[in-house]
Structure 1
C-alpha cells in the first residue's frame, strides 16, 4: 500500500475501515520460517514523517530516515524468523531503494520495481527495467499502484511492462482493494478511485498476457466475491494478506480469510505485512495469521512460507 509521496495520509479515523483494538500484541516467535511478500523500502536519506506512530499499536518509533527504517525492519524480521522479504521501492527512487535493500542483505531481500503510471510518478523507461530484470537486480514487477493513478492493470499503457514480465518470468504484484482514508484528496493521488481496486479489472490484462504470474495484494479486500472469481478462473493468480492482516479488526480479517480457505484456496494465499512506515507491523501481521484458530498447522505453513516459495520461485 502506498500512503502518499507528499506526507503522511492518516489511517483510521471516524468511520474508517482500518481499525484494531488498541494495544494488540504482536505474535511471539514460533520458530516457523516466514516469507513476507509485501514489504516497502525508502531511500536511505529520505526523511520519514515524524513522529512515526503505528496507528494500531500506538508505538512511537524513533525511526527518522529510510536507513533507520531498513535497520528496524531487519531487526523485526530476525525477531520473528522472517527469512525472506519481497520489497518494493517507496517514495523517491522507486527502483533503487529496493535494490539497495537487496544489496544490504541479498539472502534476505528480493527487490521489486514499484511503478504507478501517473503524471506525478510516470512509468520508468522500459529499457531500464529490461536491464534490471536481465541482470537480476530486480526480480518482481511491483508493487504496481495503478489504482492511485486512476488506472487498472488492463490499461494498454501497462502492456509493454506486462509483456516484459512474461518474457523474464517475473511475477507481478498489484495493489488492489481500497486505500487509506483521504487518498484521492492528496495532491499526489487526485485520480485515485476505489473502483480501480476491484481485482476483476485485471481480467483483460491476464487474457492478453496468459503467462503472467499475478499477486493480488491486500487479498482484493473488500471485493471478496470478485477476488474468488479471479482465483477460480486464473490458476496463475495468488493473493497476499498485506495490510488487512493487521489493520482490519481481527474478526473482519479472519472472516475474510476463512472464506478463501473454505473455498479451497489455502494454497494460493501468501503472507504479507505491508508494514509501510511501521516495522512493528510485521509482528502484528504475523499474529493475524497465527491467531486464526480455523487454520490447520499445515495451512499456516503454506500461508506463511510455502505458497510464496512456489509462486515466487524462491
Structure 2
C-alpha cells in the first residue's frame, strides 16, 4: 500500500513538472500600448514586419501624411501585420498572445481600453502613465502623485515628450524626475524613432531627429543618480551616443521597442549586436511597442529568439531577466511568472 502511495506521488509530481515545462518561459514587455483598434484610422492598415522594402517615399504632389496613410492602407509588401478589425477583436487577439507567450506587459494607452484590459487580465497588465502634450496627456505633477499613491499607475511611461520637441532636461520635466527618484518609480522615456516622417504627421510637428540622442538625458541622470530610467527604442539610430550613455551611466537600461519590427531585421540585429558586444547585454529589455497590429508582437519576440548572435542566456536576459531586475520583482513574483 505504501509503495502504491509513493508511485502515485511520483506520478503527480511528474504531471506538475510536465505542465510547468509546457508553459512558455515568461516574457516581460516593457513597451506595450492599449489602444482603440482604429487608432490609425477606420480602414484596416498593415505594417511590413520586419520591413524588407523601402519606407514610404514622399510624393511631392501631396502631403506626406497622405503618402504615409496610403502606405499603411494599401500595402504591396510582404511580411504584413494587419490591424485588428475592431476593439473586441483587438482585445481577443491581444489576450491570446499574452497567454500564448506568457507575457507580462507594462501597458499605457487609452484610459478606457487600458482599464478594460487590466480588469480582465490584472496579473498580466501593469498600468503605466503615458505622458506627452501631443497625446493630450500632460497632467500636473500633483495629479500624478495622487494617482500613484492611489495605485492607479505603477510605472511612469511612456514619457513621449520627444514628439513635443522637448529634450529630457527640459525644465518642465524636472518635477516629475525628482518625484520619481524620491519614490523609486520606474520611468520609461521615448528617445529614438517614431513613425518615419514624424514632423509631417498630425500631432507632432515639433518632433526632431536630433532628439534621438540619449546624450540629452545626461544632466537628468547626474542630477538624479538613483532614478530608475530606461530609454525606449534604445536611442536608435544613435548607436554611439547610446553606448556612451550606457558606459557613463550604468543605471540606465534600454528597451528594443519598435525597432524590433519596423526596422529591417538586419539593421535591428546590427544595432542590438553593437550594444551586446560592447558589454551592455544586461541592460537591454524586451519591448514590442505593441499597438494595433497583433502579429507585430510575435515578430518582435522572434527578433530575439532567432538572433543567432545571442546565447540562450542572453535571450532570456533580454526577454525577462533584465526587466525583472530593473523592476525589482520579488522572488515570489518571479516564481509565479515561471509557474513555480
TM-score using structure 2 length: 0.76
Q: Please, what is the CA RMSD of the aligned residues?
A: 2.2
Kept in 1, the 8 Å contact 2:28–2:105? The answer is yes
Distance 1:195 1:164 in 2: 27
Kept in 1, the 8 Å contact 2:82–2:295? The answer is no
Offset of 1:43 from its aligned partner? 5.4
* 1:141 matches 2:147: no
Offset of 1:142 from its aligned partner? 1.0
Provide Cα deviations, 1:41-71, integer angstroms capped at 9, x if missing partner.
1259979542132333324344323x54233
Instruction: After the TM superposition, list the runs of 4 or more consecutive aligned residues in structure 1 that deviate by more than 6 angstroms.
Output: 44-47
Residue 87 (structure 1) aligns with: 107
Residue 75 (structure 1) aligns with: 96
Residue 17 (structure 1) aligns with: none
Kept in 1, the 8 Å contact 2:246–2:253? The answer is yes
Kept in 2, the 8 Å contact 1:126–1:161? The answer is yes
Kept in 1, the 8 Å contact 2:199–2:208? The answer is yes
Distance 1:276 1:159 in 2: 29
Aligned match of 2:80 in 53, 58, 75?
58
Kept in 1, the 8 Å contact 2:84–2:293? The answer is no
Distance 2:23 2:190 in 1: 29
Distance 2:177 2:105 in 1: 22
Kept in 2, the 8 Å contact 1:98–1:113? The answer is no
Kept in 2, the 8 Å contact 1:199–1:230? The answer is yes
Aligned match of 2:122 in 106, 110, 113?
106
Q: Structure 1 pair 32/298, CA: closer, same or farther in 2 (3 Å)?
A: same
* 1:277 matches 2:270: no
Q: Secondary structure at the match of 1:188?
A: coil
Q: Structure 1 pair 43/246, CA: closer, same or farther in 2 (3 Å)?
A: closer
Residue 300 (structure 1) aligns with: 315
Residue 196 (structure 2) aligns with: 181
Distance 1:100 1:129 in 2: 21
Residue 281 (structure 2) aligns with: 266
Q: Structure 1 pair 239/47, CA: closer, same or farther in 2 (3 Å)?
A: closer
Q: Secondary structure at the match of 2:195?
A: coil
Residue 192 (structure 1) aligns with: 207
What is the number of residues matched between the two proteins?
A: 279
Offset of 1:189 from its aligned partner? 0.8
Q: Secondary structure at the match of 2:203?
A: helix
Q: Structure 1 pair 164/100, CA: closer, same or farther in 2 (3 Å)?
A: farther
Distance 1:49 1:200 in 2: 38
Q: Structure 1 pair 62/226, CA: closer, same or farther in 2 (3 Å)?
A: closer
Tell me which protein shows more helix as a share of its residues. Answer: 2
Q: Secondary structure at the match of 1:189?
A: coil
Q: Secondary structure at the match of 2:139?
A: coil
Kept in 2, the 8 Å contact 1:99–1:137? The answer is no
Larger Rg: 2
* 1:204 matches 2:213: no
* 1:238 matches 2:284: no
Unaligned runs of 5+ in 2: 1-21, 50-78, 330-340
Aligned 1:148-159 pairs, distance under 5 A: 148-159=163-174
Residue 54 (structure 2) aligns with: none
